[in-house]
Amino acid sequence: DADVTQTPRNRITKTGKRIMLECSQTKGHDRMYWYRQDPGLGLRLIYYSFDVKDINKGEISDGYSVSRQAQAKFSLSLESAIPNQTALYFCATGTGLAGNTGELFFGEGSRLTVL
Amino acid sequence: AQSVTQPDIHITVSEGASLELRCNYSYGATPYLFWYVQSPGQGLQLLLKYFSGDTLVQGIKGFEAEFKRSQSSFNLRKPSVHWSDAAEYFCAVGGNTDKLIFGTGTRLQVFP
C-alpha cells in the first residue's frame, strides 16, 4: 500500500459543483501539503498544515478550502468548481526542514477536470 | 522573492549521452535544494538534496548535482542517460519556512 493515498485518482465534474479530494498517510508525518500542477507552471502550493490545529494558505488558496481531520488526513475542497481549476492535484507529507530532512513524500495525484 | 528557474522546458538526448539539467534559485537565506523526478502518471520522487557540506551531492539512479553559491545554481547531471530516465524533473528550494518552492520543470525525452 502507498504511504500517501489520494482519492479519487480521477474526477470529472461540472462548473459549480462541490468537490472534495482526500489524502491519507501512513508515514506518521505532522506536515501535510496540497499542491496543484499545471503544464508549464510546475507545482504551486495551495494549503499546508503543520498539525491538526495549524493550517496555512499557500500561494494560490483562493477558491479552495482544506480540513485536517486527523494527523493522517488532509482534505482539499472546491466549494464551487470552475474550469480553470482543472489540474493535477498532489498531496504531500513531510517531517519538516527543521528536522533536517526536508523531503516531501507525494501521493500519485488526483486529476480533476471541470467542464 | 524566493523563486526557482528551470530555463529548459524540454530536453532531448540520446540514450547513453550525458545530461545536465539547469536550475537557478533566488533565496534570501541559506537554501535547501532538491531535485525531484516525476514519471508519467506518478507522483514526485526525491532524487537528491543539498543542505550543507560537500557541494557535490549524489542521488539515486546515478544522478548527481552540484551546488554553486556564486552562481545560485544547482544543476543536475548524469553521465549516461538510460531510456527509463525519460520523465519530468523539478528543482525546488526551501529553507526555514518549511515550504518548498518548485520550478516549472524540465521534460526529458530519451531517444534510443
Instruction: Render pLDDT for A4-49 as a digit per residue (tens, 0 to 9).
Output: 999 999 999 999 999 999 999 999 999 999 999 998 899 999 999 9
Instruction: Say what the pLDDT of residue A99 is.
Output: 54
Note the pLDDT tens digit of each residue in A98-112. Answer: 555 678 899 999 999
User: Would you call the peptide bond into A8 cis, given omega within 30 degrees of 0 as the criterion?
Assistant: yes
Q: Where is A105: in which H helix or E strand?
A: strand A104-106
**Mean pLDDT of all residues in chain A?**
92
Instruction: Say what the pLDDT of residue A65 is.
Output: 97
Q: Is the pLDDT of residue A80 over 60?
A: yes
Residue ranges in chain B whose pLDDT is less than 50? none
Instruction: Say what the pLDDT of residue A66 is.
Output: 97
Is the Cβ of A32 closer than 8 Å to some Cβ of chain B?
no
Q: Contact, B66 vs B21, CB < 8 A?
A: no
A89 contacts in chain B (CB < 8 Å)? none
Q: Which three cell numbers stand for residue A27?
A: 508515514
CB atoms within 10 A of CB B56: 11
Residue of A4, A31, A35 with shortest CB distance to B98: A31
Instruction: Say what the pLDDT of residue B30 is.
Output: 79
Is the Cβ of A79 closer than 8 Å to some Cβ of chain B?
no
Q: Contact, B37 vs B105, CB < 8 A?
A: no
Instruction: Say what the pLDDT of residue A98 is.
Output: 56
Judged by CB atoms closer than 8 Å, whether chains meet at A100 and B51 is answered as: yes
Instruction: Say what the pLDDT of residue B95 is.
Output: 74
What's the one-letter identity of residue A81?
A
Residue of A4, A33, A42 with shortest CB distance to B103: A42
Instruction: Say what the pLDDT of residue B46 is.
Output: 92
Residue of A98, A100, A103 with shortest CB distance to B46: A103
Judged by CB atoms closer than 8 Å, whether chains meet at B44 and A106 is answered as: yes
Q: Is the pLDDT of residue A2 over 80?
A: no
B49 contacts in chain A (CB < 8 Å)? 102-103
* Rounded Cα gap, residues A87 and B58, in angstroms: 32
Which is more confident, B53 or A66?
A66
Instruction: Say what the pLDDT of residue B57 is.
Output: 96
Is the Cβ of A99 closer than 8 Å to some Cβ of chain B?
no
Instruction: Say what the pLDDT of residue B97 is.
Output: 65
